[in-house]
Amino acid sequence: MSEWNLRQWSLLGFVFCVLMMAVALVLEHGFGLTPCPLCVFQRVAVIIAGVVFLIAMLHAPTSRLGGVLYGLLAALPVIGGITLAGRHLWLQSLPADEVPSCGPGLDYMLDVLPMQQVVSTVLSGSGECAEVGARLLGLSLPGWTMIGFVVLLLIPVAMMCCGRMRGCGYRWNG
């Protein structure tokens, strides 16, 4: 993998994002698990990261600066996703008496409230986000999503470091 170029790393990141979204959609439509507002925001983070990876793959700059810029742009939504998944896990860890009350649904909030207030309300948490709907090998879905985001973060890091390695498609002065 040290011989990979920016286009290959970007393709890997894009495919990983597609797989994360495929799992989310199978869980929703195949198993009937309705995503809570924090789950929807995590999906948005995956989609944004996927779009950045796709653009980086199509553009495929050959400079070290290009790899660093695309790596940073891809890392931002991934770090946001890690933060959202962490918030989700924290809500799920609260004792029942400390769980925030359920608010209006995300669709209703998007129709009625300004976007800034929707984001604020979702991030402050709601009771539906604290419910643990399913577990796999002892981890809730936000736990698995957090693992997915952490693994995904390795790709932008590789993109930023790629220019320092031989064979990455960048000019090498060593």
**CA–CA separation, 41 and 138 (whole Å):** 23
* Among the listed residues 51, 55, 64, the one whose alpha carbon sits nearest the alpha carbon of residue 18: 51
Band (66; pLDDT cuts 50, 70, 90)? confident
Rounded to two decimals, what is the model's pTM? 0.80
| Model pLDDT, residue 167 | 46
User: Do 38 and 13 touch, CB atoms closer than 8 A?
Assistant: no
Residue labelled with tokens 């930023």: 160
What tens digit of pLDDT does each residue of 137-148 get?
888 888 999 999
Give 74-127 pLDDT, tens digit per residue.
999 999 999 999 988 888 887 767 666 656 666 667 677 777 766 666 666 666
Q: Which helix (H) or strand (E) is 96 found in, with range?
A: none
